[in-house]
Structure 1
Amino acid sequence: MISVENLTKAYGAQRAVDDVSFICEPGTVTGFLGPNGAGKSTTMRMICGLTPPTSGRATVAGVPYRRLGNPGRHVGVLLDASAQHAGRTGREVLALAALTMGLDTQRVSARLERVGLGGASAKRRIRAYSLGMRQRLGLAYAMIGDPAVLILDEPANGLDPEGIHWMRGLLRDFADRGGTVLLSSHLLREVEVIADRLVVIGNGRILVEGDKEDLLGAAGTLVRASDPAALEALLQRMGLTGTRTADGSVLVPSDPQTIGPAAAAAGVVLLELRPAGAGGLEEMFLRLTAGTETGAAAR
């Protein structure tokens, strides 16, 4: 399991990640979503021990990444598909990884075949690889040690439709066999297909997180009032907890038929009242991140 507890990373007065908490459980794929600059990569780097947090902690199987013995046997990481030495071949990259982890190099050929880089592709220098081929090699590298956890930052970048379909099956099979996957991606429709849980981050803060079906299938109601404080007080009296979205609306876990009459009776003027979630993950994502500093750039 991956556990992130109150992670914060500040650069001077700027908080790149601000009090982020979530968990990724065995047997699940967690989609980690957010616009460019939202804090996804920084969070993943803190989980992997590459960036020290200002406060908070992250553990894998209850242990900080830096304390794991032979970490590649426990956690497979792909944060940058272009991080490998450009002068080495695909086979050399995996062979060195196997030697470093104390593994039999005989497994290298099978792992290259599994990601579609067998034969002549295994003998080519990394500098001659396309981005999609580097992504495939990065996945093979991440999985060479048979880890129980995968942490992947934009692994579908550069993959063609067939490659994306292949990767989806690979990760789904990994999770179905009990593995834990934390997956960052801008391909929302692919994440919607493969993910079991969702974590959406914006401006360094968690905007929403939970089971995909709960978030999309029972998304609740979007409400906006002329007096936000009056709306908040009404929701408290109704025993409901609203989640404020980036565009100023409030996502309420109830239906319009319940909220509308209650607001009218309380004299709360509503400017918006409509079901949320009908457009799937893409609409939810755009709604949550609309108006953020990085949201416009991501679109």
Structure 2
Amino acid sequence: MIEIENLTKRYGSQTAVADVSFRCETGTVTGFLGPNGAGKSTTMRILCGLTPATSGRALIDGVPYRNLPNPGRAVGVLLDASAQHAGRTGREVLTLGALVLGLPTGRVGQVLDLVGLDKKAADKRVGNYSLGMRQRLGLAHALLGNPATLVLDEPANGLDPEGIFWMRGLLREFADRGGTVLLSSHLLHEVEAVADHLVVIGNGKIAADGSKQELLAGAGTLVRAVEADALAATLRAGGATVTATADGALLVDAEPLVVGRAAAASGAVLTELRTADGAGLEALFLQLTATATAAAPAGAINSPMEVAR
């Protein structure tokens, strides 16, 4: 189990994470979502003992990462697939990891098979790996100690569609066997396919935290209009949060009846009006992160480290 309790991180006058709290239960995959600079990576780095918190706690099985007797045997971490020794082969990277963790070197072959890196790939220098191969090696390293918890930041980057499908099955099987997964990814459809629980962060604060079913059940209204800008202005004037989607629709945090009445009052011509449930996680993400951005105080800007994300 992962527990984040009132976590805050400041860099001087800048706040990267502000009073963040959530839990990842045993046997579940938790999707950790947010736009670039929202605080995801800072939270995960604090959880894994790489960045000290200003206040609050981040616990794995009830203790901080640094207090685990052999952390690699309890939690598998993949935060940056490119952070691997380019001059070593994949097999050498994993063999060194096994020795550090006190594991038999036979475990290396097992995880190589598990992530689909054959002998030719395993004996190639990491500097010659594609990004997808680095991701597979990073997952192999995370799984090396047979941990009960996985913390993964963008593990699907560089994977082809077949690789993404494979990773989805791997994570689902891991959780179904009683493991705990915290998964950050910008591939919203993949998160929607595998996650049981969703945590959305925006501007360093939690915008939503709940089961996938309950959060997607209230995703708002999707509307299209001939003059979308005019309709958006009318809705905002009435107190609604309105977000434009990539394909020109408007996502509104109000019931369809409310949106329809506003359109009628303004004389807007609608071409589509429906609940946004079918738009899935993408619609929810746009709605929640737009709300979080609008609500952010002027001083709550993200750290330079997070802006790069």
TM-score (norm 1): 0.82
- Residue 60 of structure 1 corresponds to 60
Q: Which runs of 5+ in 1 are unaligned?
A: 232-243, 261-272
Q: 1:5 to 1:221 in 2, by over 3 A?
A: farther
SS in 1 for 2:277: coil
- Residue 9 of structure 2 corresponds to 9
Q: Which amino acid aligns with 2:281?
A: L
For residues 145-203 of structure 1, what are the alpha-carbon distances to aligned partners after superposition, in whole Å with 9 as ceiling and x for unaligned?
01000000000001011110110111010001010000000000000100101111111
Q: Which amino acid aligns with 2:61?
A: A
The yes-or-no answer on 1:290 pairing with 2:290 is: yes
Between the aligned partners of 1:65 and 1:86, the Cα distance in structure 2 is 27
Contact 2:243 2:252 in 1 (8 A): no
SS in 2 for 1:21: strand
Between the aligned partners of 1:227 and 1:156, the Cα distance in structure 2 is 40
Aligned residues: 270
TM-score (norm 2): 0.79
Runs of at least 4 residues off by over 6 Å? 244-247
Q: 1:167 to 1:221 in 2, by over 3 A?
A: same
Between the aligned partners of 1:73 and 1:245, the Cα distance in structure 2 is 46
Between the aligned partners of 2:92 and 2:136, the Cα distance in structure 1 is 15
Contact 1:246 1:288 in 2 (8 A): no
Q: 1:59 to 1:283 in 2, by over 3 A?
A: same
Between the aligned partners of 1:24 and 1:92, the Cα distance in structure 2 is 33
- Residue 20 of structure 1 corresponds to 20
Q: 1:207 to 1:145 in 2, by over 3 A?
A: same
- Residue 144 of structure 1 corresponds to 144
Between the aligned partners of 2:123 and 2:215, the Cα distance in structure 1 is 45
- 1:256 is displaced (CA, Å) by 6.0
- 1:288 is displaced (CA, Å) by 1.8
Contact 1:245 1:288 in 2 (8 A): no
- 1:217 is displaced (CA, Å) by 2.5
Q: Which amino acid aligns with 1:216?
A: L
- Residue 111 of structure 1 corresponds to 111
Contact 2:236 2:242 in 1 (8 A): no
Q: Which amino acid aligns with 1:156?
A: A
- Residue 82 of structure 2 corresponds to 82
Q: Which amino acid aligns with 2:282?
A: E
- Residue 91 of structure 2 corresponds to 91
Between the aligned partners of 1:42 and 1:156, the Cα distance in structure 2 is 19
- 1:82 is displaced (CA, Å) by 1.1
- 1:118 is displaced (CA, Å) by 1.9
Q: Which amino acid aligns with 2:181?
A: V
Q: Percent identity?
A: 68
Between the aligned partners of 1:178 and 1:245, the Cα distance in structure 2 is 40
Between the aligned partners of 1:276 and 1:175, the Cα distance in structure 2 is 29
- 1:275 is displaced (CA, Å) by 4.0
- 1:220 is displaced (CA, Å) by 5.7
Q: 1:213 to 1:140 in 2, by over 3 A?
A: same
Q: Which runs of 5+ in 2 are unaligned?
A: 223-234, 245-250, 260-272, 295-300, 302-306
The yes-or-no answer on 1:197 pairing with 2:222 is: no
Higher relative contact order (CA 8 A, sep 6+): 2
Contact 1:245 1:289 in 2 (8 A): no
Contact 2:156 2:185 in 1 (8 A): yes
Between the aligned partners of 1:250 and 1:204, the Cα distance in structure 2 is 23
- C-alpha root-mean-square deviation of aligned residues, in Å? 3.0
Q: Which amino acid aligns with 1:60?
A: I
Between the aligned partners of 2:168 and 2:149, the Cα distance in structure 1 is 16
For residues 54-77 of structure 1, what are the alpha-carbon distances to aligned partners after superposition, in whole Å with 9 as ceiling and x for unaligned?
111110000011100110010000
